[in-house]
Structure 1
């Protein structure tokens, strides 16, 4: 398993696929949770992941497409949109200064 330092994460992209808005809700929740930290959170279609992303977060069903679009950028897949352990681990690492398992 690869890890990245949370200190190296300055831009998180929540990638989606023309869904019902759940990923927009997740991006807003991450933005609110990380307001005090030097991290921006943006929402993007999975096919248009920005090159300046440090970390991509997406639903597990989109993970392969996100990895193809993100190139070498790390992709974290989650199963549920709110309260997923993978997303909670990202938040904890950024807030406490740790590593993120990719």
Structure 2
């Protein structure tokens, strides 16, 4: 299971599939929350996750596809786009320091 120290996170990808806009909103929210940490937050299709991603955040329904696209990257699956506990825990760990586990 991949893991990464929060101080080593430089790029987070919010991966999507349907293009309905919810994941774009999540990426924007993460950008604002992590602005002071200097972390790039980008939004890409699940089949196009870049190789320089440190963490991938995606809906649980896309997790298997994301794992195939980026098998060695920490994956944070979530159930709801805004206010999901998994995403909140990721932000908290990044801000407070610690290890982020897939």
Q: Please give the TM-score of this superposition, normalised by the length of structure 1.
A: 0.94
Q: Is the 8 A contact 1:89 1:100 kept in 2?
A: no
The answer to whether the Cα contact below 8 Å between 1:90 and 1:100 also exists between their aligned partners in 2 is yes
Indicate whether 1:79 and 2:79 are aligned.
Answer: yes
* Superimposed CA distance per residue, residues 30-81 of structure 1 (whole angstroms, 9 cap, x where no aligned partner): 0000111121100000000001000000000000000000121111100000
- Aligned positions, number: 102
8 Å CA contact retained: 2:74, 2:101: no
Measured after TM superposition, the shift of residue 100 of structure 1 is 1.4
Q: TM-score, normalised by structure 2?
A: 0.94
Question: 1:28 is paired with a residue of what secondary structure?
Answer: helix
Where do 4+ consecutive residues of structure 1 move more than 6 Å? none
Residue 92 of structure 2 aligns to a residue whose secondary structure is: helix
Aligned-pair CA distance for 1:2: 5.3
* Equivalent position of 1:94 in the other structure: 94
Q: Where does 1:1-102 land on structure 2 (aligned, <5 Å)?
A: 3-102=3-102
| 3-state DSSP of counterpart to 2:43 | strand
